[in-house]
């Protein structure tokens, strides 16, 4: 309960800060949505030449793009600003003031900044998912919806776990703000269906950098193509990542020298 109130207070504070820049509210939010949608172009080029991409038709790709947009919106609204702010704390040595507070340091770090306007992307992404399912005339079963939600949650958990690992890396090497850019650029491959990737990359993007857990599998689940076994497997992947991330965080904080550098 305490943590719920804490997170709410933190988010409220950064929303108020963000509201000072009202122009950004519209430009960044709407533009973010536009970019997520424009990125579908290479996929459509492939569909145009091939008819379907590894069994994904036009509207199914729209569903996939919707899932991607929701996820990238979550990333740019919640995770990326928090990671950047925390990395600056580490770089400058001001992480001390965060760690000293009477609450879990990781929770404080992950909620210390928030860009609410990017939530426009999340809403737009959901609209895309619904539009794709509607126009593709896909019958979504209750089981499919449940599986989609479960994989979606697993995807967001995996995203956060990966973000924490990146944050831990920045304890070791400074000047790693660039890493959030790498992450952003990497996430772009989440636009493509899992089947397109060669086996090695598919393993890499499922278990090491869990991109496909975040976008491709939730879309498949919604389309009713995913077995419960796979869903359980994906949940296990993201749970493992979460544990690893937490351990890495504990270790990194122990090694944190607090000297500004």
Partner 1 sequence: MFQRAGHLTRVMAAVWRISLAEAIAYRVSMLMWVLTTTFPLVSLSLWSGLAASGPIGDYARPDFVAYFVAAFLVRQFTASWVVWELSAQIRSGDLNTLLMRPMSPMLYHAIQNLAALPIRCALALPIGVLVLTLTGGLGWPSPGSLLALGLSLTLAWLLNLGVHVTIGCVAFWVTESTALFEVWLGLYLVLSGAAVPTSLYPAGLAEVIRALPFHASLGFPVELAIGRATGAAVTHGLLLQALWVAVFGALATVLWRRGVRAYEGVGA
Site residues (CB under 8 A) for partner 1?
A: 24, 27-28, 31, 34-35, 38-39, 41-42, 45-46, 48-50, 53-54, 173, 175-176, 178-179, 181-182, 185-186, 188-189, 192, 196-198, 201
Q: Which residues contact 212 (CB under 8 A, 6 or more apart)?
A: 190, 194, 197, 202, 205, 206
Asked if residues 68 and 125 have their Cβ atoms less than 8 Å apart, the reply is yes
Q: Rounded distance, CA 249 to CA 256, Å?
A: 10
Choose among 15, 16, 34, 33: nearest CA to 116.
15
Q: Rounded distance, CA 149 to CA 132, Å?
A: 17
Closer CB to partner 1, 39 or 93, in the complex: 39
Task: Work out how close the CB of 182 gets to partner 1 at its nearest, in angstroms, rounded to a whole number.
Answer: 5
Q: Which residues contact 42 (CB under 8 A, 6 or more apart)?
A: 191
Task: Work out how close the CB of 97 gets to partner 1 at its nearest, in angstroms, rounded to a whole number.
Answer: 22
Closer CB to partner 1, 31 or 248, in the complex: 31
Closer CB to partner 1, 7 or 248, in the complex: 248
Closer CB to partner 1, 45 or 130, in the complex: 45
Task: Work out how close the CB of 160 gets to partner 1 at its nearest, in angstroms, rounded to a whole number.
Answer: 21
Task: Work out how close the CB of 112 gets to partner 1 at its nearest, in angstroms, rounded to a whole number.
Answer: 20
Residue 219, CA distances (Å) to 62, 107, 129, 196 in order: 10, 29, 8, 15
Closer CB to partner 1, 54 or 96, in the complex: 54
Task: Work out how close the CB of 179 gets to partner 1 at its nearest, in angstroms, rounded to a whole number.
Answer: 6
On the CB side of 191, how many CA atoms lie within 13 Å of its CA?
19
Residue 239 neighbours by CB distance under 10 Å: 14
Task: Work out how close the CB of 10 gets to partner 1 at its nearest, in angstroms, rounded to a whole number.
Answer: 23
> What percentage of the chain's residues is helix, strand, coil (to nearest 5)?
80, 0, 20
Q: Rounded distance, CA 144 to CA 226, Å?
A: 8
Closer CB to partner 1, 29 or 152, in the complex: 29
């Amino acid at each position: 309960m305490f943590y719920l109130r804490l997170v709410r207070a933190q988010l409220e504070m950064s929303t108020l800060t963000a509201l000072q820049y009202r122009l950004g509210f519209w430009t960044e939010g709407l533009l973010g949505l536009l970019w997520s949608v424009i990125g579908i172009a290479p996929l459509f080029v492939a569909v145009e030449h091939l008819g379907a991409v590894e069994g994904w038709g036009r509207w199914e790709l729209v569903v996939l793009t919707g899932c991607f947009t929701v996820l990238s919106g979550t990333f740019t609204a919640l995770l990326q600003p928090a990671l950047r702010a925390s990395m600056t704390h580490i770089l400058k040595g001001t992480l001390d003031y965060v760690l000293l507070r009477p609450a879990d340091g990781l929770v404080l770090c992950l909620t210390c900044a928030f860009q609410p306007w990017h939530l426009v992307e999340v809403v737009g992404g959901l609209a895309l998912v619904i539009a794709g399912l509607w126009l593709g005339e896909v019958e979504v079963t209750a089981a499919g919806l449940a599986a989609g939600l479960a994989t979606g949650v697993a995807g967001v958990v995996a995203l956060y776990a990966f973000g924490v690992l990146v944050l831990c890396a920045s304890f070791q090497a400074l000047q790693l703000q660039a890493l959030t850019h790498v992450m952003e650029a990497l996430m772009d491959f989440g636009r493509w269906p899992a089947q397109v990737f060669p086996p090695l990359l598919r393993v890499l993007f499922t278990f090491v950098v869990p991109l496909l857990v975040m976008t491709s599998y939730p879309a498949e689940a919604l389309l009713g193509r995913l077995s419960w076994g796979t869903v359980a497997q994906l949940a296990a992947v993201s749970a493992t990542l979460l544990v690893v991330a937490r351990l890495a965080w504990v270790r990194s904080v122990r090694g944190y020298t607090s000297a500004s550098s």
